[in-house]
Amino acid sequence: MIASLSLILLCQLAGEVIVRGLGLPMPGPVLGLMFLLWLLLARDRFNILARGPLAGGGVETTSRGLLAHLSLLFVPAGVGVVQKLDLVAAHGLAFAAVLALSVVLTLLATVGTFLVASRLMLREKKSAP
Amino acid sequence: MNDNPFALWVYLSQSPLLWLTVTLLTYAIADAVSLKTNRNPLANPVLHSMWVIGVFLLLTGTSYTTYFGGAQFVHFLLGPATVALAVPLYENRMQVAAAILPMLAALAVGSVTAIISVVWLAEAAGLPRTVVLSLAPKSVTAGVAMGISESLHADPSLTAVAVVLTGIIGAIIVTPLMNRFGITDFRARGFAVGIAAHGIGTARAFQVDAVAGVFAGIAMSLNALVTSLLVPLAVTLLVR
């Protein structure tokens, strides 16, 4: 478990170092995600990598543990609303309404595009000889 | 025993131990309630933990900075949790590879809609300029959004609040909305909530369906990538 956690942190660290070092406009943890994914895929191909946290489902179990309570991790940032009570009093309703409307629009636009695109793809596959 | 009954409180209220315990305990109770209600969207554990802890801080006159001294250990895990999303992605790689085109199309449309709609709506509602700027990256995960907000000279702590509220709204709304429109493709449902409502939406998606959770996780990480590129562009084009 410690080795798995270290591997996850190492991926994040490598991501941060590269993002900061090269001034890339992307978040370090996202690059870390790509590193871990690459390691998992490489392990299936090269047996030599299948050791430590990459063997016997070590890093998989730890990751699942971290993700099981993903929403807990947002609580500290959310409590930050106590610092913004003046703003809530002044614009709270507009603020919430704007966010809610934008969320609904985003959900519908995304789900619609996904469904249309996957239907187009299916049709193309069927019409192909 | 202590002479002053407040001495213990003064000591504890400054230590990370108390605030970390309060955060975990409140969440554990909120999560148990959510489980009892069969994961009713309105029993969202983040929403209820947030106001309970907030009220507790106000009643005890504790500053957010003091609270964060303890809660930062939880907050820190947002980064490693993002890296950990590689695992569900790896385990469902066949399904993901099969849906790569619909995902890219939905990502493009979804991330642009998320930014433009919130900037336009906020301007139409007459919100002040700093608020508009702070709202722009609201659909990506907290750490990333705060970074974007900082680079725009907006208010990162306001962005964090907007991000969490967006996530909660998305997590509450997604199930009834998708059922209302009769959408049964859990890949599409998950992907949409990951774009619109990042990690809180993803957590909700994992509660509903494993495949939806995976697609939400991918959407969330792709959106973090795209939004950090798009928001600065959108802001120069849209905000006067």
Residue A16 banded pLDDT, cuts 50, 70, 90: very high
Is A78 within 8 Å of B75 when comparing Cβ atoms? Answer: no
Residue type, B219: A
Is B162 within 8 Å of A95 when comparing Cβ atoms? Answer: yes
Residue A96 touches chain B, beta carbons under 8 Å: yes
ipTM comes to: 0.88
Q: Where are the alpha helices (DSSP H) in A2-84?
A: 2-22, 28-45, 58-68, 75-79
Which chain A residues are Cβ-neighbours of B24 within 8 angstroms? 72
Can you say how many angstroms the Cα of residue B78 is from the centroid of all Cα atoms in its chain?
A: 10
pLDDT of residue A24: 76
Residue A63 banded pLDDT, cuts 50, 70, 90: very high
Which chain A residues are Cβ-neighbours of B197 within 8 angstroms? 103
3-state secondary structure of A92: helix
Q: Which residue has the tokens 């191909």?
A: A45
pLDDT at B44 over 80: yes
Residue B183 touches chain A, beta carbons under 8 Å: yes
In this complex, the residue of A66, A69, A78 whose CB is nearest that of residue B50 is A78
- Token representation of residue B86: 């590689």
Instruction: Flag the least confident range among A33-37, B48-52, B73-77, B218-222.
Output: B218-222
Q: Which helix (H) or strand (E) holds A118?
A: helix A85-127
Residue A7 banded pLDDT, cuts 50, 70, 90: very high
Which chain A residues are Cβ-neighbours of B183 within 8 angstroms? 111, 115
Closest approach of chain A CAs to the CA of B231, in angstroms?
Answer: 11
Taking the C-alpha atoms of residue A44 and residue A50, their distance in angstroms, rounded to an integer, is: 8
pLDDT of residue B89: 85
Residue A18 touches chain B, beta carbons under 8 Å: no
Residue B97 touches chain A, beta carbons under 8 Å: no
HSE-CB for B63 with a 13 A CA cutoff = 4
HSE-CB for B32 with a 13 A CA cutoff = 6
Residue A109 near residue B110, CB atoms below 8 Å: yes
> pLDDT digit string (tens) for B146-190?
888 888 889 988 998 999 999 999 999 999 999 999 999 999 999
pLDDT of residue A129: 54
Residue B162 touches chain A, beta carbons under 8 Å: yes
| Average pLDDT for B10-16 | 85
Crossing angle between the packed helical segments B5-13 and B16-36, to the nearest 10 degrees:
80
| Average pLDDT for B127-148 | 87
> pLDDT digit string (tens) for B81-105?
988 988 888 888 888 888 889 999 9
Residue type, B214: V
Residue B178 near residue B155, CB atoms below 8 Å: no
- Least Cα distance to B151 among A2, A25, A8, A29 occurs for A25
Residue B60 near residue B13, CB atoms below 8 Å: yes
| Average pLDDT for A33-53 | 86
pLDDT of residue A128: 61
Residue B192 near residue B107, CB atoms below 8 Å: no
Mean pLDDT for all residues in chain A: 88
B143 phi/psi in degrees, rounded to 5: -60, -45
Mean pLDDT for all residues in chain B: 90
Residue A28 banded pLDDT, cuts 50, 70, 90: confident
- Nearest chain A residue to B127 by CA distance is A91
pLDDT of residue B1: 52
Closest approach of chain A CAs to the CA of B1, in angstroms?
Answer: 33
**Percentage of chain B with pLDDT > 90?**
57
Closest approach of chain A CAs to the CA of B27, in angstroms?
Answer: 7
Residue B240 banded pLDDT, cuts 50, 70, 90: low
Is A32 within 8 Å of B181 when comparing Cβ atoms? Answer: no
